[in-house]
């Protein structure tokens, strides 16, 4: 077992072809990094695992992780040493830490957290990147209006569940698509969705059409694949499609067989005047303060709920991530790397 | 030959499968319609032929023409009888007339023209629906910024040529794609495009990439097909794709063979945060007064040029329309139905 000054890292061992496997990751142990002048040493408490990281494992992207490099991730950390005037030992911060137990920061792109306002883990979920994605993507791209119908894919995930709840607050009819009866029940009974459908059901297109008698005005896309195919024919005139994730395609090694449906898609965009627009949390950074203020208010008032799915121990991150891509998580997937009862497990 | 009171109409005789042929149209002659109380009788002077009319010939759309019905079209007409207080014999108006020599109006959705401001035929082109499509589509959806690169398809057409010229006025690098060396020369030499490429060239993707060394920020889509495929890989982060027309697909009877490129398109929308948005002139109706004022000013100052391709005689409309879909026209395609030297030809 490593001692308390060992830095444990999960690195990309090889690039997956299709579904990633635990063997695509490696564990490396080394000395704790040093905080030089102006820097602080962070001890990771919570690590965020998100589907987009699958894309980081592929070569040739702006965000590609190199073989042997630490996987990227946002984390919530404790400041354990500081040579930075703005950071004090004991501060809890959120920032880019990577899949590792310690990291060093120069204080840039880091935000201090106030544990009295909300549990610090929410800075990775409902009050973090997934939350901002949902808030900005829905309000800026989706532009929900009262009485409209919104369909959201991966609806029980951290983005989808917030999208649906905000759309309800805005007066929309909200239909969620999720994996399995337990998640569907949660959406309808706990989060107040008007309806939730299991994407594994054989007659999804038919059941979705029945659930959306007035068509679909906003489709918040997190999935692609057969879920996209079920929603596409239902899109109304002037419908908006914020494209936030495509978990069905991250593992694709080749395109699906034909025919090529691109002309059909473009003709629908033209005839129905659709707006299809890609988004990521970073696009809404100028709205981030507003987002945190508004959503924190909804959390306090109980108008918005959230769910976390916690895995303990950094060494379990690869397996948890592989499961995430299969939809095994229920709520925001977090890895507890250190903290209560874990101080010596690193 | 019909006399001066005969109404000649071009009707949809049968629905085309693939490319329309002259046999899909029929000519019907009958008595001039009667203008009842509140109505006026219009004699068509100019008729507009536009690619979107191919879609009107298909069943099952909101704008489908029924078999035996007069084809829809906008026209410029003379008021020849009036029982409407707002219209006077001698007025020249633009409105929905259909492919026929006479029509009756209740004055709704009609606009009077002032021949001193601009030739009345421009109300069907640069100052009409194609112009508004270009103006609204480029400025509202395309949002051009100085220094950006714009590619426009069907660039020598009435929409494309205005899109390119406005983008030049906004400080963009403008690359046009058109059919044949004559049109390309016109774009570069007469309209001041930075470059024009013939879509029939074998190595279009390579030549387009060379013409856009900084990628493509706005792709104004009028075509689809192989032109879309050449532009798609060049789209920059946050590129905008106003989808205005898809002339390559209006004649499609089935989807092209696979693989299915939709996942590739959606992944690009996500990774590059593209905005793909369909538009039609009617979407920009609230901007129409502004559009006419601004573009008429540019016409007077010579900053914007336009070209018309005139076919004489209503009976030649079907053949001209079939040629339009093959890109045979050079400039806005108009049918001169009556007017100087044509008074008795109807």
Write the residue in A61, A255, A280 that is nearest to B273 by C-beta: A280
Q: What is the distance between the alpha carbons of residues B319 and B338, in angstroms, rounded to a whole number?
A: 18
Residue B320 lies in a domain: yes
Write the residue in A249, A261, A270 that is nearest to B267 by C-beta: A249
Q: What is the mean pLDDT of residues A162-169?
A: 98
Same domain, A139 and A54: no
Q: What six digits make up the tokens of B2?
A: 């019909």
Cβ neighbours of B275 in A, within 8 Å: 275-278
Q: What is the distance between the alpha carbons of residues A150 and A168, in angstroms, rounded to a whole number?
A: 9
Q: What is the mean pLDDT of residues A12-19?
A: 94
pLDDT band, residue B1 (cuts 50/70/90): very low
Q: What six digits make up the tokens of B160?
A: 């494309």
Task: Give the per-residue pLDDT at B116.
Answer: 87
The number of folded domains in chain B is 2
Cβ neighbours of A280 in B, within 8 Å: 270, 273
Task: Give the per-residue pLDDT at B346.
Answer: 40
Cβ neighbours of B270 in A, within 8 Å: 243-246, 278-280
Show the DSSP H helices in A272-316 as ranges: 288-301
Number of residues assigned to chain B: 346
With CB atoms and an 8 Å threshold, state whether A270 touches B225: no
Write the residue in B61, B260, B264 that is nearest to A259 by C-beta: B260
The DSSP symbol for A136 reads H
pLDDT at B143 over 90: yes
Using DSSP's 3-state secondary structure scheme, residue B77 falls into strand
Cβ neighbours of B274 in A, within 8 Å: 276-278
Same domain, A80 and A156: no
Using DSSP's 3-state secondary structure scheme, residue B102 falls into strand
Same domain, A88 and A136: no
User: So what's the ipTM on this one?
Assistant: 0.90
With CB atoms and an 8 Å threshold, state whether B258 touches A254: no
Write the residue in A55, A246, A270 that is nearest to B246 by C-beta: A270
Mean of pLDDT over chain B: 94
Q: What six digits make up the tokens of B89?
A: 């014999």
Same domain, B139 and B82: no
CA torsion A125-A128-A131-A135 (nearest 10°) is 170
Among B201, B207, B252, B187, which residue's Cα sits nearest to residue B225? B252
CA B24 to chain centre: 21
Task: Give the per-residue pLDDT at B55.
Answer: 87
Please give, rounded to a whole number of angstroms, the shortest distance from the CA of A148 to a CA of chain B. Answer: 19
Q: What is the distance between the alpha carbons of residues B83 and B172, in angstroms, rounded to a whole number?
A: 50
Among A204, A184, A209, which residue's Cα sits nearest to residue A194? A184
Residue B69's alpha-carbon distances to A72, B57, B99, in angstroms, are 63, 10, 10
Same domain, A181 and A310: no
CATH code of the domain in which B44 resides: 3.90.180.10
Phi, psi angle pair for B22, to nearest 5°? -55, -30
Cβ neighbours of A255 in B, within 8 Å: 258-261, 263-264
Please give, rounded to a whole number of angstroms, the shortest distance from the CA of A98 to a CA of chain B. Answer: 21
pLDDT at B220 over 70: yes
Non-local CB neighbours of B204 within 8 Å, separated by 6+ positions: B177, B197, B198, B226, B227, B230
Task: Give the per-residue pLDDT at A144.
Answer: 98
pLDDT band, residue B152 (cuts 50/70/90): very high
With CB atoms and an 8 Å threshold, state whether B254 touches A259: yes
Residue A292 lies in a domain: no
Torsion sign (Cα): A227, A229, A230, A232 = positive
Torsion sign (Cα): A249, A254, A256, A260 = positive
Residue A313 lies in a domain: yes
- Host domain of residue A56: 6-125+306-336
Phi-psi region of A55 (alpha: psi -120 to 50; beta: other; left: phi over 0): alpha
With CB atoms and an 8 Å threshold, state whether A261 touches B261: yes
Asked whether A269 and B278 are in contact (CB, 8 A), the reply is yes
Residue B60 lies in a domain: yes
Mutate to test the interface with B, among A55, A246, A276, A279 (most CBs of B within 10 A): A276
Q: What is the mean pLDDT of residues B314-319?
A: 97
Same domain, A255 and A319: no
Residue A185 lies in a domain: yes
Using DSSP's 3-state secondary structure scheme, residue A187 falls into helix
Query: Which residue has 């419908």 as its token pair?
Result: A239
Q: Which tens digit of pLDDT belongs to each residue from A235-285?
A: 999 999 999 999 888 888 899 998 999 999 999 999 999 999 999 999 999
Write the residue in B260, B271, B279 that is nearest to A261 by C-beta: B260
Same domain, B138 and B268: yes
Phi-psi region of A104 (alpha: psi -120 to 50; beta: other; left: phi over 0): beta
Task: Give the per-residue pLDDT at A346.
Answer: 39
Q: What is the DSSP string of A35-93?
A: --TT-EEEEEEEEE--TTHHHHTSTTSTTPPPTTSBPP-EEEEEEEEE-STT--TT-EE
Task: Give the per-residue pLDDT at B117.
Answer: 86
Cβ neighbours of B61 in A, within 8 Å: 271
Write the residue in B248, B257, B275 that is nearest to A275 by C-beta: B275
Closest CA in chain B for residue A224: B263
Please give, rounded to a whole number of angstroms, the shortest distance from the CA of A248 to a CA of chain B. Answer: 9
* Cis ω for the linkage preceding A249 (within 30 of 0): no
Same domain, A75 and A179: no
Burial class (CB in 10 A: 0-12, 13-18, 19+), B191: buried
Q: Which tens digit of pLDDT belongs to each residue from B20-52?
A: 999 999 999 999 999 999 999 999 999 999 998
Cβ neighbours of A244 in B, within 8 Å: 270
The predicted model scores a pTM of: 0.91
Closest CA in chain A for residue B224: A263
Among A279, A215, A213, A271, which residue's Cα sits nearest to residue A245? A279
Asked whether B346 and B316 are in contact (CB, 8 A), the reply is no
Q: What is the distance between the alpha carbons of residues A315 and A342, in angstroms, rounded to a whole number?
A: 13
Show the DSSP H helices in B174-325 as ranges: 181-185, 204-211, 225-231, 262-271, 288-301, 317-324
Task: Give the per-residue pLDDT at A61.
Answer: 79
With CB atoms and an 8 Å threshold, state whether B273 touches A277: yes
Write the residue in B61, B221, B256 that is nearest to A259 by C-beta: B256
Task: Give the per-residue pLDDT at B5.
Answer: 85
Same domain, B151 and B279: yes
Pairing of strands A173-178, A149-153: parallel
Cβ neighbours of B267 in A, within 8 Å: 246, 249
Cβ neighbours of B247 in A, within 8 Å: none
Torsion sign (Cα): B201, B205, B206, B207 = positive
Task: Give the per-residue pLDDT at A340.
Answer: 67
Residue B190's alpha-carbon distances to A267, B43, B164, B166, B184, in angstroms, are 32, 35, 12, 14, 10
Task: Give the per-residue pLDDT at B342.
Answer: 63
Please give, rounded to a whole number of angstroms, the shortest distance from the CA of A128 to a CA of chain B. Answer: 20
Burial class (CB in 10 A: 0-12, 13-18, 19+), B280: middle
Residue A344 lies in a domain: no
With CB atoms and an 8 Å threshold, state whether B276 touches A271: no
Q: Which tens digit of pLDDT belongs to each residue from A318-344?
A: 999 999 999 899 999 999 999 865 654
Please give, rounded to a whole number of angstroms, the shortest distance from the CA of B296 to a CA of chain A. Answer: 28
CATH code of the domain in which A220 resides: 3.40.50.720
Mean of pLDDT over chain A: 94
Using DSSP's 3-state secondary structure scheme, residue B328 falls into coil
Q: Collect all residues from B whose CB is shorter than 8 A from any CB in A.
A: 55, 61, 221, 224-225, 228, 243-246, 248-249, 252, 254-280, 283
pLDDT band, residue A3 (cuts 50/70/90): low
Query: Which residue has 């895995």 as its token pair?
Result: A311
Same domain, B20 and B99: yes
Please give, rounded to a whole number of angstroms, the shortest distance from the CA of B254 to a CA of chain A. Answer: 9
Residue B345 lies in a domain: no
With CB atoms and an 8 Å threshold, state whether A275 touches B272: no
Show the DSSP H helices in A95-240 as ranges: 129-136, 158-169, 181-185, 204-211, 225-231
pLDDT at A164 over 70: yes
Same domain, B140 and B278: yes
Same domain, A146 and A263: yes
pLDDT band, residue A69 (cuts 50/70/90): very high
Q: What is the distance between the alpha carbons of residues A70 and A136, in angstroms, rounded to a whole number?
A: 29
Please give, rounded to a whole number of angstroms, the shortest distance from the CA of A112 to a CA of chain B. Answer: 29
Task: Give the per-residue pLDDT at A224.
Answer: 95
Asked whether B265 and A246 are in contact (CB, 8 A), the reply is no
Residue B240 lies in a domain: yes
pLDDT band, residue B345 (cuts 50/70/90): very low
pLDDT at B344 over 50: no
Q: What six digits make up the tokens of B206?
A: 């390579």
pLDDT band, residue A66 (cuts 50/70/90): very high
């Amino acid at each position: 077992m490593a001692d308390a000054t060992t830095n444990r890292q999960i690195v990309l061992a090889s690039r997956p072809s299709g579904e990633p496997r635990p063997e695509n990751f490696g564990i490396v142990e080394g000395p704790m990094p040093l905080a030089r002048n102006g820097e602080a040493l962070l001890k990771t408490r919570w690590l965020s695992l998100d589907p987009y990281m699958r894309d980081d494992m592929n070569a040739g992207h702006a965000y590609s992780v190199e073989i042997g490099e630490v996987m990227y991730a946002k984390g919530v950390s404790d400041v354990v040493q500081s040579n930075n005037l703005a950071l004090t030992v004991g501060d809890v911060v959120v920032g880019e830490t990577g899949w590792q137990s310690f990291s060093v920061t120069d204080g840039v792109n880091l935000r201090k957290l106030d544990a009295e306002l909300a549990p610090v883990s929410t800075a990775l979920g409902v009050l973090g990147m997934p939350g901002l994605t949902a808030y900005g993507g829905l309000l800026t791209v989706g532009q929900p209006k009262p009485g409209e119908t919104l369909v959201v894919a991966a609806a029980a995930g951290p983005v989808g569940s917030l999208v649906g709840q905000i759309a309800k607050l805005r007066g929309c009819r909200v239909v969620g698509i999720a994996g399995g009866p337990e998640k569907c029940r949660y959406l309808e009974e706990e989060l107040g969705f008007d309806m939730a459908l299991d994407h594994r059901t054989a007659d999804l297109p038919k059941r979705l059409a029945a659930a959306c008698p007035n068509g679909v005005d906003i489709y918040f896309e997190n999935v692609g694949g057969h879920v996209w195919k079920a929603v596409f024919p239902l899109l109304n005139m002037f419908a908006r499609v914020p494209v936030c994730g495509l978990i069905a395609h991250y593992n694709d090694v080749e395109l699906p067989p034909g025919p090529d449906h691109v002309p059909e898609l473009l003709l629908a965009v033209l005839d129905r005047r659709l707006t299809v627009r890609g988004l990521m949390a970073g696009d809404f950074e100028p709205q981030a303060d507003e987002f945190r203020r508004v959503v924190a208010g909804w959390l306090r008032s109980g108008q918005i709920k959230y769910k976390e799915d916690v895995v303990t121990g950094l060494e379990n991150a690869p397996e948890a991530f592989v499961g995430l891509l299969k939809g095994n998580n229920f709520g925001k997937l977090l890895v507890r790397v250190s903290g209560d009862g874990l101080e010596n497990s690193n």
